[in-house]
A and B are shown apart, each in its own frame.
Chain A
Amino acid sequence: MTDLLMPHPAPATPGGSTTTGDCHVEWKKPSAAPVSVNLAAARERLQSRGGATYWRSLEELAETPEFGELLDREFPRFASEWPDGVSRRNFLQLAAASLGLAGLTACTRQPIEKIVPYVRQAEEFLPGKPILFATSMALSGVATGLLIESHNGRPTKVEGNPEHPASLGATDAVTQASVLGLYDPDRSQAISQLGKAATWTTLNQQLTSALTAQSAFGGAGLRLLTGPVTSPTEARLIAALLESYPQARWHRWDPLARDGATKGLTEAFGAPVGMRFDLAKADVVLALESDFLTAGPGSVRYARDFADRRKVGHPEGAAATMNRLYVAESSPTATGTVADHRFRIRPSQLGGIVQALAAAVGVAGVAAPPLDTASAKWVAATARDLAAHRGAALVVAGETLPAAAHTLVAAINEALGASGGTLLYSAPIEADPVDNLTSLVALLDEMKAGKVDLLLVSGVNPVYDAPADLEVAAVFQGSSALRIHHGLHDDETAAYCQWHVPATHYLESWGDARAYDGTVSLVQPLIEPLYGGKTTGEMVGALLGRPTDDAYTLLRETWEGQMGGETFESAFRKLLHDGMVPASALAPSQPAWVGASVSAAVQALAGEPAGGELELALRPDPSVLDGRFANNGWLQELPKPITKLTWENAILLSPRTAEKLGVKGNDVAELTSPDGRKLTGPVWLLPGQADGVATVHLGYGRTRAGKVANGIGFSAYAAQTLASRYGLPSVTLAATGDSAELATTQGHQSIDWMREESEQATERAIVRQATLSEFEQDPHFAHAGAHEGIDVNASFNPGFEYKGYSWGMVIDLNACNGCNACVVACQSENNIPVVGKEQVARGREMHWIRVDRYYQGDVDEPSAIVSQPIVCMQCEQAPCEVVCPVAATVHSTEGLNDMVYNRCVGTRYCANNCPYKVRRFNFLLYQDWETEQFKLQRNPDVTVRSRGVMEKCTYCVQRINRARIPADRDQRQVADGEIQTACQQACPPQAISFGNINDPAAKVVADKKNPRNYSLLEELGTRPRTTYLAMVKNPNPELSA
Chain B
Amino acid sequence: MSVAESPRLPAPLYDPPVIAPGHSSASVGDKISSVVFGKMPLWFYVAMAISFGGAMMLLTALTKLVFTGIGIWGNNNPVGWGFDIINFVWWIGIGHAGTLISAILLLLRQEWRTSINRFAEAMTLFAVACALLFPLFHTGRPWLAVYWLLPYPNTMAIWPNFRSPLIWDVFAVSTYGSVSLVFWFIGLVPDLATFRDRTKKLWQKKIYGALAMGWRGSARHWHNYESAYLLLAGLSTPLVLSVHSVVSFDFASGQVPGWHATIFPPYFVAGAVFAGFAMVLTLMIPLRKAFGLEDFITMKHMDNMGKVMLVTGLIVGYGYIVEIFTAWYSGNIYEWYMIRNRIFGPYKIIWMSLILCNVLAIQPLWFRKARKSIAALWIISMFVNFGMWFERFVIIPTSLHRDFLPGSWGMYYPTRWDFATFFGTIGLFMALMFLFVRVFPAIAMFEMKGLTPDAKVKEPAHG
Contact = CB atoms under 8 A, between A and B. Distances in A.
Interface of A: 83, 746-748, 753, 756-758, 760-761, 763-764, 766, 839, 842-845, 850, 852-854, 868, 870, 879, 882-887, 903-909, 911-913, 915-917, 919-925, 947-950, 1016-1017, 1020
Contact of A905 (B79, B149, B158, B250): B149
Contacts of B333: 763-764
Interface string B386-427: 000000000000001001111111110000000000000000
Interface string B240-261: 0000000000100111100000
B83 to A, nearest CB: 13
Query: Which of B80, B161, B170, B404 has the most chain A CB atoms closer than 10 A to its own CB?
Result: B80
Contact of B158 (A853, A887, A909): A887
B75 A916 contact: no
A758 B161 CA distance: 38
A950 B138 CA distance: 13
B421 to A, nearest CB: 15
Contact of B167 (A885, A915, A917, A921): A885
Contact of B408 (A763, A852, A884): A852
A104 B145 CA distance: 48
B69 A907 contact: no
Contacts of B68: 83, 924
B164 A882 contact: yes
B222 to A, nearest CB: 44
B16 interface: no
A465 B291 CA distance: 77
Nearest to B334: A764
12 contacts: A760-B337, A761-B406, A842-B74, A844-B77, A870-B408, A882-B164, A904-B140, A909-B254, A916-B404, A921-B80, A923-B140, A1016-B405
A1020 B141 contact: no
Contacts of B140: 904-908, 921-923, 947-950
B251 to A, nearest CB: 9
A885 B160 contact: yes
Contact of B149 (A853, A882, A886, A925): A886
Given A763-B333, A883-B254, A923-B76, A909 B164 contact: yes
A844 B407 contact: no
B405 A852 contact: yes
Given A885-B149, A886-B160, A917 B408 contact: yes
Interface string B142-159: 101100110000000011
Given A904-B141, A913-B256, A921-B77, 19 more contacts: A83-B68, A753-B409, A766-B405, A839-B71, A843-B410, A845-B77, A853-B407, A868-B407, A870-B405, A882-B161, A882-B253, A883-B164, A903-B148, A905-B148, A906-B70, A907-B135, A909-B80, A922-B140, A1017-B405
B20 to A, nearest CB: 50
Interface in B86-143: 135, 138-142
A843 B158 contact: no
Contacts of A949: 140-141
Contacts of B74: 842
B403 A915 contact: yes
Nearest to A1020: B255
A886 B76 contact: no
B406 A885 contact: no
B256 A905 contact: no
A949 B142 CA distance: 11
A948 B69 contact: yes
Interface in B340-377: 346
Contacts of A913: 254-256
Contacts of A925: 69
Query: Which of A760, A879, A922, A950 has the most chain B CB atoms closer than 10 A to its own CB?
Result: A760
Given A885-B167, A912-B254, A917-B77, A905 B407 contact: no
Interface in B32-81: 68-72, 74-81
A746 B410 CA distance: 7
Nearest to B141: A948
Contacts of B254: 879, 883, 909, 912-913
Contacts of A947: 69, 140-141
Nearest to B257: A915
Contacts of B160: 885-887
B403 to A, nearest CB: 7
Contacts of A746: 407-409
A790 B95 CA distance: 43
A925 B141 CA distance: 12
Contacts of A1017: 404-405
Interface of B: 68-72, 74-81, 135, 138-142, 144-145, 148-149, 158-161, 163-167, 170, 250, 253-256, 333-334, 337, 346, 400, 403-411
B164 A854 contact: no
A884 B71 contact: no
Nearest to A756: B406
Contacts of B78: 843, 911-912, 917
B229 to A, nearest CB: 34
B255 A854 contact: no
Contacts of A853: 407
A924 to B, nearest CB: 4
A886 B148 contact: yes
A917 B402 CA distance: 11
Contacts of A908: 75, 80-81, 138, 140
A439 B144 CA distance: 64
A887 B161 contact: yes
Nearest to A886: B148
A757 B407 CA distance: 7
Nearest to B409: A757
Contact of B164 (A760, A766, A885, A919): A885
A852 B406 CA distance: 9
Contacts of B79: 843
A796 to B, nearest CB: 15
A842 B70 CA distance: 13
A915 B405 contact: yes
A80 B50 CA distance: 38
Contact of B80 (A757, A886, A911): A911
Nearest to A910: B80
Contacts of A883: 163-166, 253-254
B404 A906 contact: no
A852 B409 CA distance: 11
Nearest to B138: A907
Given A907-B166, A912-B256, A924 B71 contact: yes
Contacts of B400: 912
A394 B16 CA distance: 93
B75 A923 contact: yes
Given A854-B406, A915-B404, A879 B255 contact: yes
A851 B105 CA distance: 57
Contacts of B71: 83, 839, 844, 923-924
A643 to B, nearest CB: 14
Given A843-B78, A905-B145, A764 B410 contact: no
A216 B39 CA distance: 105
Contacts of B158: 887, 903
Given A879-B255, A912-B254, A885 B407 contact: no
Contacts of B250: 909
Nearest to A909: B166
A905 B403 contact: no
Contacts of B149: 885-886, 905
Query: Which of A748, A887, A1020 has the most chain B CB atoms closer than 10 A to its own CB?
Result: A887
A764 B403 CA distance: 11
Nearest to A764: B333
Contacts of A868: 407
B145 A916 contact: no
A917 B406 CA distance: 10
A493 to B, nearest CB: 38
Contacts of A766: 405-407
B400 to A, nearest CB: 6
A903 B405 CA distance: 28
